[in-house]
Structure 1
Amino acid sequence: MHRTLPVLLLALVPALASAQATDASRALAQDAVIVDTHIDAPGMLMDGWMDLGEEAEGREFDYPKAHAGGLDVAFMSIYTSPKQDEDDSAWQVANEMIDSVEALAQRHPDKFALLLSPKDVDSLRKGDRVLLPLGMENGAPIGDDLSNVQFFFDRGVRYITLAHSAANAIADSSYAIERKWHGLSPFGKQVVAEMNRLGIMVDVSHLSDESAAAAIELSTVPVIASHSAFRHFTPDFERNISDELAKAIADGGGVVQIPFGTAFVNPESAADTQAHFRAINDFNKRNAELKAAGKPLESRAAFNKAWEEAHPPRQTRIDAVLDQVDYAVKLIGIDHVGIGSDFDGVGGELPDELRTVADFPNFVAGLQARGYKDEDIRKILGGNLLRTWAAIEAGAGGAAAAP
């Protein structure tokens, strides 16, 4: 047993070294354009207001942290839930979230600016401003009205995740057991065409394989996965992207943006997440049966408490994220990989060395330790996403969506 101890210590050295920011990694993080395509700060603002222009305790994104980490472009997630889709409040909630981002930029014009086009990145980020484009997570606010695609484009939305954790009027979710559309709905096909026309990025994260494949095939411009890890590491977890779909995105000129949340990059956590959605599905079915029988319903609070006690968070190291990058680069090439952290969206369940947006230098250090050249790190940090976004914008203005 004593002979194995030095070997174990040596095995830990690369992981420990890769977790530590260096002068070189900090310098590159500050100089490169870092684009994070998924930060859930607007949802956190709805839950409890804080001024994100100042240090915000307990939040993973705010201006001081972003400035320290070198973050330049932070896509603000305009997330709405399946429940809000069902009760027709998604449109209202989405607009309130957009208002909150606008208010943040207006309150701190020296720290933030809204971003509508990749062409404006260099000019707007001068003066150390953090740029705030909008990404709509779940197309539910569109409802069944195609004109809402234009409406939200005019409000600044530059990508739309077609569905989230349940089917909507557009597409199926990877989390749902039952599939409604087996691809895109007829309306969903119109939505994708309209997004192409306007220059809104089509985002296939969260979609079922059938829906993602249909969106990729239909789109006339590149598509993105705004925050999708690779299913190679989590074989039974459809939420993570398959090799086939990732290759299809890359073949079309798009990018796969890798998240940091342990639910996606840690296989055990991914299994817990998948089991959680199945358990919720069973819970909802039981309550529907109880309601139909006129019996008392089970408590969702009690269900949540029991689940959390039985499934505590799992410790994860930064290497789980770096392994995702390595795999992606080998599978689809260095030009088709980026980052979509999911900061403020995973309940703090993140790798030890990637706790907030201030920690991007740790990520850069990890890539440098694994032998990535600085020019390739710049691509992963944001160059690939900006190139793809520019191509989508250049492809806009084609024929209107079919009626």
Structure 2
Amino acid sequence: MIRTTRFTKNLCMLFLGVSMAIGCSKGSDISDDIENEIGKEEDKTEEPVTETPEEGAPEETLLNAAEFIKSVDSLTISANALDTIDDSLVNVLSDESEKITFFVPSNEAFTGFLASLKEYTDVLDFDEDLEKEILSQVLKYHAIIGGANFSTELSNGSILETLQSEEIKITVDGDVYIIDTTEIDARITAADIEVANGVVHIIDKVLIPESVLADLFPKSTLINLVNQTEELSLFAEGIAEAGLEDIFNTGEYTVFAPTNAAIEQLFKTLGDDYNSFSDFTNILEKQALKEIILGHAVKEVIARNGLKVGTLATLIEDDSVDVVEGAAGLALQDASEFKANFVEFDIEASNGVIHTIDKILIPQKALLLID
């Protein structure tokens, strides 16, 4: 650097012979400038270069919740569902003046939901006004107004009030789950997707509010439920053979339904002449079959938590069955010496409830035939 400076000064002296006044003045200025620049280079430390965005370049903006849902290929069914109902929910999901949380079902979640319904295979099938209102209630049940609840705020046991007005509950067990009115919880599969007006979480199940549960999943009548349950197919045959199907369609009952294994054991006890209920052929046998079937029903709806030790009148006049303590909890005692144990409780029908048992009940009037 020093040699360069000296060389520059010598050049300045040569220029003096041509024009002293101009040459010296310019040489001095150039020398000073070069020395200043060299000094700056020696003292200068490297600093990061900050790029200034071009004037007028657009700033990156977040989509709102409605826009986000409609932009994602894995959420097309939810987007179609939003288009199917009225504009009220879309307006909420588009409004950037208030923060929201929206649990949006994936396409797989909606496909599973539609597959569980008897009358709907597509969200577009919700085309009547009442059906659109049902779908609207379902979708609003996924929205929380008044705050962006990121996953760090979704703690175990948290309860959130939805736009639909019913509550959902949060449970955390490794993953974050949402509990609705059904027996299956929804799991968050993609969390904390920030949108312009809050946060979106993608879930693997459609949430169902209590208010539309019966509309979406209407319960079968007692007789239809028995007919649809494979493990009760022999009991269904007995009801049909006795001509009692209409009784179980009208009135509200508790039915203690023997399983197929229980009825097969009855046939073994009766001997080779009885392999099915169609073998009850004469008048006395048919009457006994009718009483056996009626002896499994009580003319009131009693869920598991309502079963107490005591006597229950059956549909047979002057007949009853006793609820007793068994080896593994409550059991039923009929006119025989053997108890019937409960297999499954609380199979709900539109007009009653079914509890399955492991032995067919024998009323006193039918006992003589069986003996």
TM over 0.5: same fold? no
TM range (shorter): under 0.3
Larger Cα-atom Rg: 2
Q: Which has the higher strand share?
A: 2
Higher RCO structure, 1 or 2 (CA under 8 Å, sep 6+) = 1
TM-score (norm 1): 0.17
TM-score computed with the length of structure 2 as normaliser: 0.18
